[in-house]
Structure formats: structure tokens, C-alpha cells
Amino acid sequence: MLRDCKCSVSEETVERYCLGRLESEELERFEEHLLVCPGCQDRVAASDEYIAAMKLALRDIRARQAKPAGPRWNPLRWTPLLAAGVAAAALAVFVHFRSPAGDPAPHMVSLRAIRGFEDPAAAAPAGALLVLKADLSELPEMPSYRIAIADQGGAILWQASGTPEQGQLTVTLPRKLAPGRYWVRLLGGGNLLREFGLKVE
């Protein structure tokens, strides 16, 4: 049961905080308040739980939808019209999920430091072009950061620099990753600032 919170902070502000979307001044104000408001601490904890469940569930639903459905009917019973319809639908899906260059639509991976050093649930599909979005909150501000992908043994596979925007660093991997576990390292000023786990499956 959430305690009765008498303060004036809106639900939307709490949710935006949990999603890492508060801008600097608003973030500062809210975090100062959070340090002394048990009601908002409860609300943030509840919102964190809700968002985590939402992300996991949406990821599950997407993964299920992405799996090809097994044959549930006898193909011999398909009429040519139905077959043509299915082909048209398949083509529509193909067009929808492919960029003009012919590559699959990139998959966004959010790397967030939350309740630990990294989000253990960061997962991405094999064979997809990956766009990595790293949360820079709590880190020293720098004009640019470096992201490196290491394999499970720590060998660097790829690295690049990027300029932060609104507290986040976004980079697109130029190559696809084979299934396995990787480490995404965030470096700034020559120091390793953060490390996130990434599971490609």
C-alpha cells in the first residue's frame, strides 16, 4: 500500500523520472525532494516496478510475435485466393520491417543503470542491426564518450565515439552480433565509466 503522499509532484513527473526523462533542472528539483519525501520514494519504487514489468512483457509479446507460427492448418486446403492474400500480407510485413537500403529495421537496445550497475535484462535479437542507447545519468559530463563492444572474454570487437544528447549516448553498430553474451563499455576521458551486459539471442 502506498503511503498517502500529500506533496504536489504529479504522477507524470514520477514516471518521467523513472524513465530517465527529466531534464536537468527538473531532475535536480525532484531528486532533492525525493531525498526527503517517503511518499515519493514509494511512488518511484512502484513506478519502477510497473515500468520494468511493462518492458519485460512488451519484449515477450514482441518476441512471440516475431516467431514464425507453426502450421495449424492443412496447406492443401488453401484456396489460391487465400494463398495470394497471405503472400501479399507477407510482402507487406517484409516492406514494413525493412529499410530502403534493404537491411532489417534496427533494434533499439536501452542500456540503463538501474538498481545495479547495469540492466541485466538488456537483450537483443541476433541478426538485427543494433542501436545502443546508453544512459549517462550520474556520470561526469563530457563532450564525447566512447562505446566499446567486448566479447564475453573481454576482447574488444568494435568501438566508436559519440556525442551525448539529452543525457544519452546513441550509437549504431555497423555489424551484426552473433548470439552470445557481450559487454558494452562506456568510456570517457580515457576511463572506463560504466559496463553493461548485453545478451544477443
Residue 79's Cβ-side half-sphere holds a number of Cα atoms within 13 Å equal to 3
Identity at 195, one-letter amino acid code: E
For 182, the 3-state DSSP assignment is strand
Decide: is 115 part of the binding site for another protein (CB under 8 A): yes
Binding mask 61-80 for another protein (x = CB under 8 A): xx------------------
> What residues between 119 and 158 interact with another protein by CB under 8 A?
120, 133, 138-140, 152-155
Residue 187 contact, options Zn ion, another protein, none, Cβ 5-8 Å cut-off depending on partner type: none
Query: Rounded to the nearest whole angstrom, what is the least distance from the CB of residue 37 to Zn ion in the complex?
Result: 3
Q: Which of residues 2-41 bind Zn ion (CB under 5 A)?
A: 7, 9, 37, 39-40
Tell me if 44 contacts Zn ion by CB under 5 A: no
Which CA distances in Å does 84 have to 22, 71, 88? 49, 17, 6
Taking CB within 5 to 8 Å according to partner kind, which of Zn ion, another protein, none is near residue 115? another protein
User: Percent helix, strand and coil across the chain, each rounded to 5?
Assistant: 35, 25, 40
Cα-based angle 110, 137, 4 (whole degrees, multiple of 5):
95
Count of residues of this chain found to bind Zn ion when the rule CB under 5 A is applied: 5
What residues between 87 and 106 interact with another protein by CB under 8 A?
none
Cα–Cα distance for residue pair 105/145, rounded to 1 Å: 25
**Residue 43's closest CA among 8, 93, 84?**
8
Q: Which residues bind another protein (CB under 8 A)?
A: 3, 6-10, 12-13, 19, 28-39, 41-42, 44-45, 48-62, 108, 110, 113-118, 120, 133, 138-140, 152-155, 183, 191-195, 197
